[in-house]
Amino acid sequence: MTKTVAIVTGDFHAPEAERMIAAASATAKARGLAVGPVVRVPGSMEVPLALKRLLSRNDIDAAVALGVIERGETKHGLVMAQSVVGAIIGLQLEFMKPVGVGIIGPEVFPSQIAPRVEPYAEAAMVAVARMLE
């Protein structure tokens, strides 16, 4: 039976998010996984709630979280990234379903984003595929 993977992305960096969705979707298909709902949320902070809603569904076997947390003038991004990833780990354990994390950052400079978009999205989906084996 084909496993279904949902995708959640923070849309604050919309062009990059769309490229990440395309890369993750292609990787899923290459691995024999079905791509379920694709949910776009305002930013990375909203990703855990969207993931919780999806992971609670019986028709979703796993999920991938995508987005960018850019370096700012303060440590806000670092604190947010730690909170978001901590919440994602908690959701994996709560629902016993894998979540691949393809969130670029924290502390990433704008010039570092573009070359990481596809590799991060692909790696997140590969991690999920391996956990579903």
pLDDT at 76 over 90: no
67 inside domain = yes
Average pLDDT over residues 125-131: 98
How many separate domains does the chain show?
A: 1
For the chain, the average pLDDT equals 96
pLDDT at 81 over 90: yes
pLDDT of residue 1: 87
pLDDT of residue 41: 98
Average pLDDT over residues 85-111: 96
pLDDT of residue 2: 96
Q: What is the pTM of this model?
A: 0.96
Whether 13 is a known active-site residue: answer no
Q: pLDDT tens across 103-127, in order?
A: 999 989 999 999 999 999 999 999 9
> What residues make up the domain containing 62?
47-124
87 inside domain = yes
Answer for the pair 9, 50: CB distance below 8 angstroms, yes or no: no
CATH of the domain at 91: 3.40.50.960
Residue in 15, 34, 75, 76 annotated catalytic = 76
5 inside domain = no
